[in-house]
């Protein structure tokens, strides 16, 4: 939806209504639930500011409707409410209420920042789409780039985007079928992995299930029916395991809370277990939240393994080796007396909060009772820092393709110097080389994996030790593009070849001009005097290099440009 064609300065009524909205201090009835939820987290929050933001958004969107026919204001209010339920700070909720105003109304970013502050302005700008008329088919990629760059200043931009997509998916039934598929597919490819990287599993699970529903509708319905039946039929068995687990912890004098956590439908279906064979262990997990520090998690693990036989291959220690998204817990699978496999997750209270909220848990810790951030931002996550480094040289298409890969499941590998690298699954030694440095990648010659020579296209695996062997002169192989997995490697290889092609075109174009002008000496004279740059600029080229490149690519010929301009022609006698 584009901004209406409104002459703001001439619209007295529009300004009068906006000024009345800006003067609001009491919440409208529609916003009371949002404010009540925010006050539950932050009792001293600025209620008047939230009320004013809602009133301004309501006024700006008053003539707009959603596909469902409902007033548009329902959407930003829902987005803000989702974030309020996660415990986000006041400024984030204000930005959520106003996140569509700059894109869809005459309210400019300057107006918004002046009224609600730079902090809110940065977040709203970050989630505002770029102008499709300017970027055309590249708009989606450039919008994503804009959001990622904005996240460098404020990670909350990404949280607003996730909440925005959650509500859009909740109401996706009002879109035509082709748009449902497009939106759900884009969400699964980009935003679900983004939610996982941020550790916000509470949103990730809902996004996954909503995408599952729209992309695999029949399988979704079968899974929902089967899971409901299994849970109902095995409720007694599930409760018995929970009781036995509590007894085992008590016998080890471990103080902990035990909760039975239903697995979400997408997770159940994509786990690989046939639906007809589903047992209770495939539909639930047991969460043990110990009191005290992380050391008590290991005591709880001892209690669990003392009661039931563990399956060694299923044990993962994410406390000793935390995941990239701050997640820290022990995962173990045991076999109960009945022969059932049961998955148990053990963590402390803070880790449990992180497991649900991820980066939001850190925001909670930095937010005062008044709903304001009281300390500086945290360091950018490693994956975001890596993405920010290589996205600048990527086209919109390369960016989206690279992000789809880089945000997928990750592995960690080691260099012979002990450096730890996080890479997407399926990465190759070439990806390792470019992860170390673009120059190392460009000079890649060979590699060893765990002491053995490996092909450039070989896949490295979790825990592998990789040594990169380089050559003196740079020269990546174009064939590497077929197996390179990371966006950074693919963009760097493509950039190297584009640079070489441009250099060749520049040389070819300069030689063509020299030949047309009668030799290198005449060319140098024309370059020195400025005549040639004048001709190039009249043809629309800012620099001589651009002019020569266009000449080399055959986009223009010397005859097209190197002729006297009308004012330079001698007058006829």
Which is more confident, 130 or 324? 130
Both tokens of 1, joined, read 């939806």
Closest by alpha carbon to 204, among 154, 254, 169, 242?
A: 169
Q: Quote the pLDDT of residue 563.
A: 58
Residues 58 and 163 grouped into a single domain: yes
Residues 455 and 555 grouped into a single domain: no
**Phi and psi (nearest 5°) for 377?**
-70, 160
Q: Quote the pLDDT of residue 21.
A: 67
With respect to residue 362, please indicate whether it lies within any of the assigned structural domains. Answer: no
Whether the predicted pLDDT of 359 surpasses 70: yes
In this prediction, residues 94-101 reach a mean pLDDT of: 96
Count of Cβ atoms closer than 10 Å to residue 150 Cβ: 21
Catalytic one among 37, 103, 153, 259? 103
Q: Quote the pLDDT of residue 573.
A: 39
Q: Quote the pLDDT of residue 378.
A: 61
**Phi and psi (nearest 5°) for 392?**
-65, -35
Residues 467 and 521 grouped into a single domain: no
pLDDT tier at 379 (50, 70, 90 boundaries)? low
DSSP 552-570: HTTSS-HHHHSS--GGGSP
CATH number at residue 419: 3.10.20.30
CA distance 151 to 158: 7
In this prediction, residues 115-131 reach a mean pLDDT of: 91
pLDDT tier at 501 (50, 70, 90 boundaries)? very high
Buried b (16+ CB within 10 A) or exposed e, 501-531: ebeebbebbbebbbeebeeeeebeebeeeee
Whether the predicted pLDDT of 60 surpasses 80: yes
- Helical axes 156-170 vs 74-85, angle rounded to 10°: 120
Q: Quote the pLDDT of residue 25.
A: 64
The string of pLDDT tens digits covering residues 135-160 is: 777 888 888 889 988 988 899 999 99
The string of pLDDT tens digits covering residues 183-197 is: 999 999 999 999 998
Query: Please, which residues have CB within 8 angstroms of residue 381's CB and are 6 or more apart in sequence?
Result: 197, 198, 324, 325, 359
pLDDT tier at 7 (50, 70, 90 boundaries)? very low
HSE-CB of 41 using CA atoms within 13 angstroms: 26
Compute the mean pLDDT over every residue in the chain, rounded to the nearest whole number: 88
Query: Please, which residues have CB within 8 angstroms of residue 214's CB and are 6 or more apart in sequence?
Result: 169, 172, 180, 181, 183, 184
CATH number at residue 343: 3.30.460.10
pLDDT tier at 75 (50, 70, 90 boundaries)? very high
Residues 234 and 318 grouped into a single domain: yes
Whether the predicted pLDDT of 498 surpasses 80: yes
**Total structural domains within the chain:** 4
In this prediction, residues 532-561 reach a mean pLDDT of: 88
Residues 80 and 196 grouped into a single domain: yes
Report CA Rg, the chain: 30
Least confident of 10-24, 229-243, 419-433: 10-24
Both tokens of 391, joined, read 């996205």
Residues 78 and 128 grouped into a single domain: yes
Q: Quote the pLDDT of residue 567.
A: 43
The string of pLDDT tens digits covering residues 459-494 is: 999 889 999 999 999 999 999 999 999 999 999 999
CA distance 6 to 102: 13
Q: What is the dihedral of CA 83, 84, 90, 95, to 10 degrees?
A: 40
Which is more confident, 5 or 283? 283
Residues 56 and 168 grouped into a single domain: yes
CA distance 540 to 520: 24
Residues 102 and 162 grouped into a single domain: yes
With respect to residue 554, please indicate whether it lies within any of the assigned structural domains. Answer: yes
Q: Quote the pLDDT of residue 210.
A: 97
With respect to residue 43, please indicate whether it lies within any of the assigned structural domains. Answer: yes
Q: State the residue range of the domain holding 450.
A: 409-485
Which is more confident, 468 or 382? 468
CA distance 320 to 328: 8
Which is more confident, 24 or 236? 236
Residues 25 and 156 grouped into a single domain: yes
Question: The whole model's pTM is what?
Answer: 0.83
Share of the chain above pLDDT 90, in %: 58
- Please identify, among 294, 329, 357, the residue that sits at the C-terminal boundary of a domain: 357
Residues 352 and 421 grouped into a single domain: no
Least confident of 417-431, 445-459, 488-502, 548-562: 548-562
Instruction: Please list the alpha-helical segments (H only) found in 217-279.
Output: 217-233, 235-251, 265-269
Closest by alpha carbon to 265, among 247, 251, 278, 250?
A: 278
Catalytic one among 104, 189, 442, 506? 104
In this prediction, residues 329-333 reach a mean pLDDT of: 95
Whether the predicted pLDDT of 376 surpasses 70: no
DSSP 139-180: HHHHHHHHHHHHHHH-THHHHHHHHHHHHHHHTGGGS-HHHH
Which is more confident, 405 or 97? 97
Q: Quote the pLDDT of residue 469.
A: 95
Active site residue 103: yes
In this prediction, residues 11-24 reach a mean pLDDT of: 65
CA distance 544 to 536: 7
CATH number at residue 196: 1.10.3210.10
Active site residue 30: no
In this prediction, residues 84-96 reach a mean pLDDT of: 96
Q: Quote the pLDDT of residue 572.
A: 45
Q: Quote the pLDDT of residue 564.
A: 47
Q: Quote the pLDDT of residue 518.
A: 87
The string of pLDDT tens digits covering residues 207-252 is: 999 999 999 999 999 999 999 999 888 889 899 999 999 999 999 9
Q: Is the dihedral of CA 301, 306, 309, 312 positive or negative?
A: positive
- Please identify, among 485, 517, 545, the residue that sits at the C-terminal boundary of a domain: 485
Q: What is the dihedral of CA 218, 221, 222, 227, to 10 degrees?
A: 150
């Amino acid at each position: 939806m584009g901004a209406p064609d409104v002459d703001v300065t001439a619209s007295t009524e529009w300004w009068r209504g906006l000024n009345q909205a800006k003067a609001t201090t009491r919440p409208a009835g529609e916003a009371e639930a949002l404010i009540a939820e925010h006050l539950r987290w932050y009792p001293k929050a600025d209620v008047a500011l939230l009320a004013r933001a809602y009133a301004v958004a309501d006024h700006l969107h008053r003539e707009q409707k959603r596909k469902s026919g409902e007033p548009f204001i329902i959407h930003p209010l829902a987005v803000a409410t989702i974030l309020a339920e996660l415990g986000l700070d006041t400024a984030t909720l204000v930005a959520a209420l106003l996140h569509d105003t700059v894109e869809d109304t005459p309210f400019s970013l300057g107006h918004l920042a002046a009224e609600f502050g730079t902090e809110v302005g940065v977040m709203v700008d970050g989630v505002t789409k770029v102008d499709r008329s300017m970027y055309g088919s590249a708009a989606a990629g450039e919008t994503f780039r804009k959001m990622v760059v904005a996240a460098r200043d404020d990670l909350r931009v990404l949280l607003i985007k996730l909440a925005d997509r959650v509500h859009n998916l909740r109401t996706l039934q009002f879109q035509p079928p082709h748009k449902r598929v497009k939106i759900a597919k884009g969400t699964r490819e980009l935003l679900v992995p983004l939610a996982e990287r941020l550790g916000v599993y509470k949103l990730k699970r809902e996004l996954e299930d909503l995408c599952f529903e729209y992309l695999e509708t029949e399988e979704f319905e079968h899974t929902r029916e089967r899971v409901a039946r299994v849970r109902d039929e095995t409720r007694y068995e599930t409760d018995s395991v929970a009781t036995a687990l509590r007894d085992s912890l008590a016998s080890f004098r471990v103080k902990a809370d035990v909760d039975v956590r239903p697995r979400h439908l997408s997770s159940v279906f994509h786990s690989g277990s046939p639906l007809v064979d589903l047992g209770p262990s495939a539909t639930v997990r047991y969460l043990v939240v110990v009191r005290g520090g992380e050391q008590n998690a290991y005591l709880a693990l001892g209690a669990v393994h003392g009661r039931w036989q563990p399956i060694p291959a299923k044990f993962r220690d994410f406390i000793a080796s935390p995941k990239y998204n701050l997640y820290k817990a022990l995962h173990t699978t045991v076999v109960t007396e009945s022969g059932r496999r049961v998955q148990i997750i053990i963590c402390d209270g803070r880790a449990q909060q992180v497991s649900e909220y991820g980066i939001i848990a850190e925001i909670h810790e930095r937010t005062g009772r008044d709903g304001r951030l009281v300390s500086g931002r945290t360091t950018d996550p490693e994956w975001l820092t890596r993405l920010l480094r290589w996205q600048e040289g990527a086209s919109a298409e390369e960016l989206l393709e690279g992000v789809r890969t880089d945000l997928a499941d990750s592995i960690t590998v080691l260099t012979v110097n002990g450096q730890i690298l996080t890479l997407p699954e399926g990465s190759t030694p070439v990806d390792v080389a470019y992860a170390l440095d673009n120059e190392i990648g460009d000079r890649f010659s060979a590699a060893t994996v765990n002491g053995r020579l490996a092909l450039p296209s070989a896949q490295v695996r979790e825990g592998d030790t990789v040594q990169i062997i380089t050559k003196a002169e740079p020269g990546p192989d174009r064939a590497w593009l077929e197996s390179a997995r990371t966006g950074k490697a693919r963009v760097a290889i493509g950039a190297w070849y584009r640079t070489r092609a441009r250099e060749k075109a520049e040389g070819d174009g300069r030689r063509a001009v020299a030949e047309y002008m009668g030799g290198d000496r005449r060319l140098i004279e024309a370059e020195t005097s400025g005549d040639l740059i004048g001709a190039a600029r009249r043809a629309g080229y800012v620099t001589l290099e651009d002019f020569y490149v266009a000449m080399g690519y055959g986009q223009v010929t010397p005859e097209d440009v190197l002729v006297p301009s009308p004012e330079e022609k001698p007058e006829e006698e």
